């Protein structure tokens, strides 16, 4: 097991492929077997039934769900659940070498403080008795790809700093390069380790290469976020988009010219389309096995790919033309207790009087399911003034947890108003202490409360305050707050939408 600075949590996003079990069994049977926490994130849109992993011999295995949001969201859920210094990502269709675990720990122990990430090595087995198909050659490119998360470890602090994976990348394409660019720009270098995985070539139907053209839209998001030189920085091949657009333009010109009676222009443009399509087909057919089914597949898809690539390029350019930098979800959301999570009963020392506000449990559970940690910061001046005892406050807090579920951190101020402490809101002490207890940068923390002192405490600590007014909230407090939401559910909606 990794210790100290090399301790890691393994995160495996999955859509329920049978290969997941092969991977987990490889981890359990390695030398030595994996004993670190393993978080499998089920990204099936409707997770009907369990993944049936109960008999895999991994001592700290848990399953989380990400609701079909794609691999970026699934990985974000996984790393936010981790508490180790490192987070190691594996895809659910790879197989680790027998010594992978030992080499992983060696790679992480060897990482200098300036190293923010460690990339594993990938082999893609290709057939020995024939030339690889177009699909197999495409998969083989993973062996030399930069920063792919088929096997990638990041310091958890680096992931927190940059907000993790950008969930606007909806498929397993470019989200890894985007993260790598942000991490290397702000947190440190990414090195290549000594560990190995095998990435088999998955079966593919005739139209797999056509569906891949959706990645052209993601390339425009990369351009919006990282500028026109992003490919050089990410060591990404240039691709054939310009040629695809030229072929599409030729086809469009031929159709328009033919409809308008300009036969010569139509013939020339049609010849250009045919030449471009033929060049693409030859480029894909000549290196391959050239058997009948492969040639048929290449001819059909080569005729369609330029149009698909151009469509997705236009769609991506429009959708991402003003894309802002990714911030991600906060790591920690703190809540005021009385008036925010439960109805306010002044100086309450009776657990039986605790009544949650509408939707509190559901809102908290949504944050927990997304891997966002939750906590409570509460002024309890009744202890300092003698109206209630600390034991009564703790009994009420236990009842709050019984009704609303577990919290990752509790902070309370027992001092009376005039004691001049640094913890009583609007002072920042409780917010800072809650962040310190969980190793969270206050800039990645939100505080949701119902009065101005909650918002002021957040600002004083370097966190973000969100006001959810009640009948006790003064109008001037509402006017002064930058972020105001009608109720707790609306505040959590916007937290999970990344609007803070």
Q: What is the pLDDT of residues 266-315, one digit of tens each?
A: 999 999 999 999 999 999 999 989 999 999 999 999 999 999 999 999 99
pLDDT tens digits along 112-123: 999 999 999 999
User: pTM of the entire structure?
Assistant: 0.89
User: Dihedral, CA atoms, 144, 149, 150, 151, nearest 10 degrees?
Assistant: 90
**Residue 221, both tokens:** 């998001």
Catalytic residue chosen out of the listed positions 338, 408, 450, 454:
338
List b or e across 134-152, with b for residues whose CB sees 16 or more CB atoms inside 10 angstroms.
bbbbbbbebeebebbbbbb
In 260-337, which ranges are continuous DSSP H helix?
263-285, 292-319
pLDDT tens digits along 42-92: 999 876 677 877 788 999 999 999 989 999 999 999 999 998 999 999 999
Catalytic residue chosen out of the listed positions 336, 408, 450, 454:
336
pLDDT at residue 418 in the model: 85
Catalytic-residue membership of 336: yes
H/E element holding 9? strand 8-14
Look at strands 332-335 and 445-449 and give their pairing.
parallel
In whole angstroms, give the CA distance from residue 401 to residue 3: 32
pLDDT tens digits along 134-166: 999 999 999 999 999 999 999 999 999 999 999
- Give φ, ψ of 355 to 5 degrees: -130, 115
The helix-helix angle for 488-496 and 360-369 (nearest 10°) equals 10
In whole angstroms, give the CA distance from residue 150 to residue 147: 9
**Residue 364, both tokens:** 């908290």
- Residues in the chain, overall count: 500
Mean per-residue pLDDT over the chain, rounded:
95
CATH 3.40.50.300 fits domain 4-203: no
Cβ(428)–Cβ(447) below 8 Å:
no
Catalytic-residue membership of 338: yes
pLDDT at residue 207 in the model: 94
Quick one: average pLDDT of 316-334? 94
Topology of domain 332-496, per CATH? Rossmann fold (3.40.50)
% of the chain beyond a pLDDT of 90: 91
Asked if pLDDT for residue 2 goes beyond 90, the answer is no
pLDDT at residue 366 in the model: 95
* DSSP conformation letters of 380-442: -HHHHHTSS-HHHHHHHHHHHHHHH---SEEEEE---GGG--SSSTTSSHHHHHHHHHHT--G
pLDDT at residue 55 in the model: 84
Quick one: average pLDDT of 16-20? 92
User: Where in the chain is CATH 3.90.550.10?
Assistant: 4-203
Cβ(42)–Cβ(16) below 8 Å:
yes
Asked if pLDDT for residue 1 goes beyond 60, the answer is no
Asked if pLDDT for residue 342 goes beyond 80, the answer is yes
CA neighbor of 356 nearest in space, from 333, 376, 337, 380: 337
Q: How confident is the model at residue 6 (pLDDT cuts 50, 70, 90)?
A: confident
pLDDT at residue 359 in the model: 95
Residue with tokens 């995985």: 197
Please report, for residues 12, 40, 121, 171, 201, the alpha-carbon distance to residue 94 in angstroms, rounded to integers and kept in the order given.
10, 14, 12, 17, 10
Cβ(120)–Cβ(194) below 8 Å:
no
Residues 6+ apart with CB under 8 A from 449: 335, 336, 339, 340, 425, 455, 457, 458, 465, 466, 467, 468
% of the chain beyond a pLDDT of 70: 99
- Give φ, ψ of 378 to 5 degrees: -140, 125
Beta strands in 168-253 (DSSP E): 189-198
């Amino acid at each position: 097991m990794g210790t100290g600075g090399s301790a890691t949590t393994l995160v495996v996003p999955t859509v329920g492929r049978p290969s997941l079990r092969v991977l987990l069994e490889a981890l359990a049977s390695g030398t030595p077997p994996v004993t670190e926490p393993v978080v499998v994130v089920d990204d099936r849109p409707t997770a009907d039934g369990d993944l049936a992993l109960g008999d895999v011999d991994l001592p700290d295995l848990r399953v989380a769900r990400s609701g079909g949001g794609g691999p970026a969201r699934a990985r974000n859920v996984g790393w936010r659940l981790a508490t180790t210094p490192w987070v190691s990502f594996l895809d659910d269709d790879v197989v680790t070498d027998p010594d992978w675990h030992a080499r992983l720990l060696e790679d992480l122990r060897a990482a200098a403080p300036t190293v923010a990430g460690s990339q594993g090595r990938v082999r893609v087995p290709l057939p020995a008795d024939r030339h690889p198909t177009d699909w197999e050659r495409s998969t083989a490119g993973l062996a030399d790809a930069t920063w792919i998360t088929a096997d990638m470890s990041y310091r958890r602090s680096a992931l927190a700093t940059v907000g993790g994976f950008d969930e606007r990348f909806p498929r397993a394409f470019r989200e890894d390069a985007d993260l790598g660019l942000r991490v290397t720009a702000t947190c440190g270098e990414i090195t290549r380790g000594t560990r190995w995985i095998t990435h088999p070539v998955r079966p593919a139907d005739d139209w797999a290469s056509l569906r891949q053209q959706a990645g052209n839209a993601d390339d425009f998001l990369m351009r919006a976020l990282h500028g026109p030189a992003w490919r050089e920085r990410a060591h990404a091949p240039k691709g054939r988009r310009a040629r695809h657009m030229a072929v599409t333009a030729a086809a469009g010109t031929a159709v328009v010219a033919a409809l308008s009676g300009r036969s010569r222009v139509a013939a020339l443009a049609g010849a250009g389309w045919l030449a471009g399509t033929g060049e693409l087909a030859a480029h894909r057919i000549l290196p391959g096995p050239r058997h009948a089914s492969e040639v048929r597949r290449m001819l059909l898809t080569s005729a369609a790919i330029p149009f698909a690539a151009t469509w997705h390029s236009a769609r991506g350019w429009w959708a991402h033309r003003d894309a802002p930098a990714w911030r991600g979800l906060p790591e920690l959301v703190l809540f005021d207790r009385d008036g925010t999570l439960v109805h306010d009963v002044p100086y309450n020392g009776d657990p039986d009087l605790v009544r949650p506000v509408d939707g509190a449990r559901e809102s908290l559970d949504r944050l927990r399911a997304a891997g966002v940690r939750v906590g409570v910061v509460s002024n309890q001046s009744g202890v300092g003034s003698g109206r209630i005892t600390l034991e009564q406050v703790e009994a009420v807090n236990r009842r709050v947890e019984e009704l609303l579920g577990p919290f990752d951190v509790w902070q309370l101020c027992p001092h009376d108003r005039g004691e001049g402490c640094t913890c009583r809101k609007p002072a920042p002490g409780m917010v800072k202490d809650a962040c310190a207890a969980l190793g969270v940068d206050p800039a990645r923390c939100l505080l949701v409360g119902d009065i101005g002192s909650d918002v002021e405490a957040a600002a004083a600590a370097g966190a973000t305050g969100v006001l959810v007014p009640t009948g006790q909230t003064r109008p001037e407090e509402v006017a002064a707050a930058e972020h105001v939401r009608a109720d707790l559910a609306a505040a959590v909606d916007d937290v999970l939408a990344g609007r803070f």
